[in-house]
Amino acid sequence: MSSLPRDRAAYPPWWVILAIWTAWGLFLSAQVAVYQRLGGRPMPFLTAVRLNLPGALIWLVFTPAAIWLGRHFPPFENPGWRRRVAVNFLAGAVAVFLEVLVVLVNQRWVRGPVTDDVPLLASGLRSFVWWFPSDGPLYWAILAIDYGVRHHRRLRERELRASQLEAQLAEARLQALKMQLQPHFLFNALHTIGQLVRTGQDTLAVQVVAGLGDLLRRVLDGAATQEVPLKQELEFLRSYLDIEQVRFRDRLKAVVDADPDTLDARVPYLILQPLVENAIHHGIAPRATVGRLLIGARRIAGSLHLTVRDDGSGLWAGRTDRASQGVGLANTSERLRQLYGDAASFEVVNADDGGTVARIVLPFRLAAAEWQGAGEGEGEGEG
């Protein structure tokens, strides 16, 4: 239930209440003027306003009081509704009776003294019998409108909190996926260094350690980032390929072919590295001959198409879905689902002319202006 200070803050502005009851008074005035004219006793509209507007404006005072009472004795909520309905019913009756007195006093002031006027209180009681069935619902209309507005506001607040919690949960899931990917990548890089040391290639091992240090710095710099410009992602990928080039030497030929108009597109951070790692592990490493790797980026209509292709043996029976093998590609699929839902797609399939191709399709969205200056432009290049 809302606290009292919060309810006070949610009161409608005074000018809104004034506008509503002024419009109501003018409507009644017009109704009376038309009625009098149809009855053969024309009344100037200004006179009708002077007679009817004060009775409407008295509700300007009643409205905050009715809202306050309706919030402290809410008649639309269980349990104990009977007592609260009785309290509000009595308050509505008092409001209508005071309205009647104001109208009668105003009428006598506008018309001037009349010799056959009955006492004000007696006239008020008699008029109240006629007025209460028609004006009593005004009090309940105030309560109903206030209850409806507050109920709608509470629903909106709950929906907002739910959406915020959902966004926070999605962000936490994405961050967990990134944290899962980083040690996976680190393990593979350290494995490469270990192989170099065991085979006596100390100079190359030192070179890889230096490259790994640069990669870790980049990873830590982007620890809180979910999306980066494609050119920044390609820079990271080149650093990673430099390490792999040391390991495979002439057995690895990697080409990056990204259209210039794709370089400022937003892509998930570290989205290409696990695809390249997968291609090297399955398509390049098992071979004794040269293996080729092609990383491409194209803009097609409103989508960004990323591909990582190797010329290895391709997928074979029993392992037709490489995306389900290992942490990296399963991580990629889940990250895309979390970030873009059905707007993105990911597949790993056999290429038409041999080898394997991993395809990612994303909505094409430009990176923020402050990101677009980061890094140098990427085009065609060979690692």
**What confidence tens digit (pLDDT) does each residue in 158-170 have?**
888 777 766 665 6
Quote the CA–CA distance of 259 and 256 in Å, as a whole number.
Answer: 10
Per-residue pLDDT tens digits for 43-64: 888 888 988 889 888 998 899 9
Mean per-residue pLDDT, 171-186: 58
What's the confidence (pLDDT) of residue 95? 92
Sheet with 303-310, strands from edge to edge, namely 345-350, 356-363, 303-310, 291-300, 252-258, 381-382
What's the confidence (pLDDT) of residue 90? 94
Domains plus CATH for the chain? 4-164 (no CATH), 201-382 (3.30.565.10)
Quote the percentage of the chain above a pLDDT of 70: 81
What's the confidence (pLDDT) of residue 188? 66
Per-residue pLDDT tens digits for 210-265: 888 887 777 666 656 778 899 999 998 888 888 888 778 889 999 999 999 999 99
CA distances from 122 to 101, 136, 312, 368 (A): 10, 19, 104, 75
What's the confidence (pLDDT) of residue 306? 97
Closest C-alpha to 312, from 256, 244, 252: 252
Kindly report which listed range (68-72, 255-259, 299-303, 373-377) carries the lowest average pLDDT score: 373-377
Kindly report which listed range (86-100, 251-265, 314-328) carries the lowest average pLDDT score: 314-328
What's the confidence (pLDDT) of residue 288? 84
What's the confidence (pLDDT) of residue 116? 63
What's the confidence (pLDDT) of residue 316? 65
DSSP annotation of 366 reads: B
CA distances from 33 to 30, 41, 109, 127, 135 (A): 5, 9, 19, 20, 19
What's the confidence (pLDDT) of residue 5? 38
User: Which pTM was predicted?
Assistant: 0.52
What is the chain's mean pLDDT, rounded? Answer: 81
Of the pLDDT bands very low, low, confident and very high (cuts 50, 70, 90), residue 371 is low
Radius of gyration of the chain, Cα coordinates, nearest whole angstrom: 38
Mean per-residue pLDDT, 93-110: 89
Of the pLDDT bands very low, low, confident and very high (cuts 50, 70, 90), residue 173 is low
DSSP annotation of 115 reads: T
What's the confidence (pLDDT) of residue 283? 86
What's the confidence (pLDDT) of residue 217? 78
